[in-house]
Structure 1
Amino acid sequence: MIDKAWTHLTGLWGRWWLAPLAPALYALAMIPAGQLRPEHILIGGLVLSLGLFNRTTQRITAALYPAVLVAIASDAIRFVVPIFVTPERVHACDLRALELRLFAVAPDKTPGDWLQQHTAPFWDVFFAIPYAAFLYVVPVYALYLFVKDRERMGLFLWAFAIAHVIGFAMWLIVPAAPPWYVRLNGCAVDVRAAANAAGLLRVDELFGMSYFQQFYARAANAFGAVPSMHVAFPLIALFAAMGRATWRTWPLHIFYATAMFIGSVYLDHHWIVDGIAGAFVAFAAVLIAARLLGLPWPWPPRAPAENAPPPRGP
């Protein structure tokens, strides 16, 4: 029985046989640590079952594996945060001062300050949608590319993983308080502070739910404002599509990225400088991923089909 299982495992994954087991092993490691949560079981079970079901599901699992690594790393970072995120190292009011120096809309008023005075239920819901959807957009978009453009899917997902490596390193090297923290607590830094849903709490209240409150209560680090990974997510997709996106899909990429950028400030989760840093991280991640994968980027224009009619004159 064990020999048969081993043969099946190595037949599907070869020398990477540990890959489908890793998320389940991580979930098991969380039991003695007292940190086991439903998402650990869900991810571990999905990767294990799909990775070992058949060749087709193995290929899909392998293609999506960069996102699996990000999920594990996003959770595991909580174990190293206390080492790096200490009160004397956290940037708080100096970030607000930088925001005022660069983007003040009035004396001692940042764009975020102004937006917090002009909130409305419509805009709360409008900007909450990309914030709520990003966890689902990434795998759904990756599966779409798996069918339509396998090379671009690889670039997108590996850039997604590389962006997180850069982002996590910056969170630890330059821990930064988000605007909601400064608004609630001023310049005093308490590293024990829990993450806060900020403007998204208005959406919870509007619909009589606690979705965003519970989601952010699970965050591993309240002081990871720089760079904004929320802003980086849609920009990774946008940059990875350069040369491949069409006039139909470009507006979707641009709209999603713009809504996320503005929403990150409107919902009081990020300073504008966080979003700019996120954009640079996204660009660097796509560039690095393209080099590592040996892919041309930006993508060269597609060659016209052999039987396509000649282009019309002006």
Structure 2
Amino acid sequence: METTSSPAPAPRPGLAGRIAATPRSYLYGSLAGMGAYLLVMGLTLGNRPEQFLLCALMFLLAVWSAGTRRFFAGMLPFLLFGIIYDLTHLTEPLVRYLHVHVAEPYHFDKLFFGVPVDGVRLTPNELFARFHWPAVDLVTGSAYILYLYWSLGFAAWLLLAKRKDDRIQRLARRFGWTFLAVNVAGFATYYIYPSAPPWYVTQYGLGPANMAAQASAAAAARWDAMTGLHYFAAFYGRSADVFGAIPSLHVSYPLFVFLYGRQLGKRWLDVVSFGFFLLVCFSAVYLQHHYMLDVLLGVTYTLVGVGIERALARQPAAAAAPAAMEPADAE
């Protein structure tokens, strides 16, 4: 009795084959963009290993398969965000030619949010400089680490867990590009209205800005000391925006997750994301990185950005509605 054997599965293509099968727009676009970024950084500030690692990962996503290309396209706004932030190191010296606002944010907080203690009116930052606790240091420091990964994780979850749901995929793209737009607006504000954070006033006072000041982990250094990880010392050692306190983009990221997450209709996600947003707001003030004014403006930038995005998203539907309602021509 003859037996028939099933055909052997086709061998999976190697990397060269996958690159050859990649649409030219993805291939050339990713190579040009990442190559230009690495070249500019290499000729100016020097390259770091994580820059090569990130670019290699994103290139593999762009060429590996149709599924990874969709993920690459969805995460592209966050890649551009990282590149733009890195490039702000090149423009940071421009701040020395601008008027840095040191006293105004401090006096605003003292006037509207000041707390009387022992006959002296303190800003919330000054209050928490006097009164702080190890357990709160641990929680707020951890929140200040997770705030960015919370947004990235949310975007990746939408793109991967709901990759066959067109509505969710559109939501992920809207989330990503609005996230990028608000960040660019925030970065631009650092040069339109450069402002000193609370920790700077504690160290240098309310006089003219000291352009030699270096970024500081501020009270987040207590988290480093408690855990022995030195995360904040390393992170702020590479910071490019010493005088970029307004707006607080730290609070924007969890607020984005809350606003876009609400469209999923998951109550547990709404509660957790809004609670995390409030925790990051508190952490920004408690850790001496932002005034209440900075937090309020960060919230405002986010709400305006999301509002504009939603208005633009409604326009095509509104334009299509009248056409859909017109009766067909009689024969």
Q: How does the TM-score come out when normalised to structure 2?
A: 0.82
- For 1:258, the equivalent position in structure 2 comes to 278
Aligned to 2:133: 120
Farther off after superposition, 240-249 or 207-216 = 240-249
Q: CA-to-partner distance for each residue in 1:172-195, whole Å, 9 max, x for gaps?
A: 100010000000110241223211
Residue 244 of structure 1 deviates from its aligned partner by 3.2
Match of 2:110 among 90, 100, 109: 100
Displacement, 1:48? 1.1
Cα gap change, 1:88/1:150 in structure 2, threshold over 3 Å: closer, same or farther?
closer
Q: 1:53 to 1:33 in 2, by over 3 A?
A: same
Task: Give the CA deviation at 1:21.
Answer: 4.1
Q: How has the CA–CA distance of structure 1 residues 20 and 175 changed in structure 2, closer, same or farther, with 3 Å as cutoff? A: same
* Distance of aligned partners of 1:224 and 1:287 in 2 relative to their CA distance in 1, 3 Å threshold: same
CA distance in 2, matches of 1:166, 1:151: 23
Among residues 212, 225, 246, which one is paired with 1:226 in the alignment? Answer: 246
Structure 2, gaps ≥5 residues long? 1-15, 163-167, 318-331
Q: What is the SS of the residue equivalent to 1:248?
A: helix
Radius of gyration: which is bigger? Answer: 2
Q: CA deviation at 1:211?
A: 1.4
Residue 40 of structure 1 corresponds to which residue in structure 2?
Answer: 51
Q: 1:28/1:294 Cα in 2 relative to 1: closer, same or farther (>3 Å)?
A: farther
Q: Shift in Å at residue 141 of structure 1? A: 0.9
Which of 117, 121, 145 is 2:158 aligned to? 145
Contact 2:251 2:299 (C-alpha < 8 Å) held by counterparts:
yes
Q: Give the letter aligned to residue 283 of structure 2.
A: G
| Selected match of 2:71 from 60, 65, 88 | 60
**Cα shift readout 1:13-55 (whole Å, capped 9, x = no counterpart):** 38xx413541243123322224211221122111111111111
CA contact (8 A) 1:124 1:202 kept: yes
Partners of 1:87 and 1:189 within 8 A in 2: no
More divergent stretch after superposition (284-293 vs 170-179): 284-293
State the distance in 2 between where 1:275 and 1:79 align: 26
State the alpha-carbon separation in 2 of the partners of residues 296 and 242 from structure 1.
22
In structure 1, which of residues 65, 79, 86 is the aligned counterpart of residue 90 of structure 2? 79
8 Å CA contact 1:175–1:223 kept in 2: the answer is yes
Letter in 1 for 2:141: A
Query: Contact 1:178–1:269 at 8 Å: present in 2 too?
Result: yes
Question: Cα deviations across residues 238-269 of structure 1 (Å, max 9, x unaligned)?
Answer: 22234434322111111110000000000000
Partner of 1:307: none
Question: Is the Cα–Cα contact under 8 Å of residues 162 and 285 in structure 1 kept in the other structure?
Answer: yes
> C-alpha distance in 1, partners of 2:311/2:131?
44
Shift of 1:92: 0.8
**2:101 is equivalent to residue 91 of structure 1:** yes
* Structure with greater helix share of residues: 2
How far apart in 2 are the matches of 1:88 and 1:151? Answer: 40
Report the equivalent of 1:273: 293
Q: Is the 8 A contact 1:177 1:223 kept in 2?
A: yes
Q: Which amino acid aligns with 2:115?
A: V
| Structure-1 separation of matches of 2:202 and 2:265 | 40
Letter in 2 for 1:136: Y
Tell me the TM-score normalised to structure 1 length. Answer: 0.86
**Structure 1 residue aligned with 2:173:** 154
Q: For residue 91 of structure 1, report the CA deviation from its aligned partner.
A: 0.7
Residues 190 and 245 (structure 1 numbering): CA distance in 2 closer, same or farther, change over 3 Å?
farther
The CA distance in 2 between the partners of 1:232 and 1:121, in whole Å, is 26
The question of whether the paired residues in 2 share the 8 Å contact of 1:12 and 1:55 is answered with no
SS class of match (2:115): coil
2:195 matches 1:176? yes
Q: Is the Cα contact below 8 Å between 2:18 and 2:64 reproduced in 1?
A: no
Which amino acid counterpart does residue 108 of structure 1 have in structure 2?
Answer: R
Describe how 1:196-207 pairs up with structure 2 within 5 A: 196-207=216-227
Matched, 1:186 2:197: no
Measure, in 1, the Cα distance between the counterparts of 2:240 and 2:131: 30
Q: Please tell me the root mean square deviation across aligned C-alpha atoms, in Å.
A: 2.3
Distance 2:211 2:296 in 1: 25
Which residue identity does 1:279 align to in structure 2?
V
Is the CA contact (8 Å cut-off) linking 1:66 and 1:161 kept in structure 2? yes
Amino acid at match of 2:295: G
Percentage of pairs with the same residue: 28
What are the superposed Cα offsets for residues 150-183 of structure 1, whole Å, 9 maximum, x if unpaired? 2221121111101111101111100010000000
The alpha-carbon deviation at position 237 of structure 1 amounts to 1.6
Query: Which whole-Å CA distance do the structure 2 matches of 1:197 and 1:70 have between them?
Result: 22
Give the conservation status (yes or no) of the 8 Å contact 1:70–1:164.
Answer: yes
Native 8 Å contact 2:246 2:294 kept in 1: yes
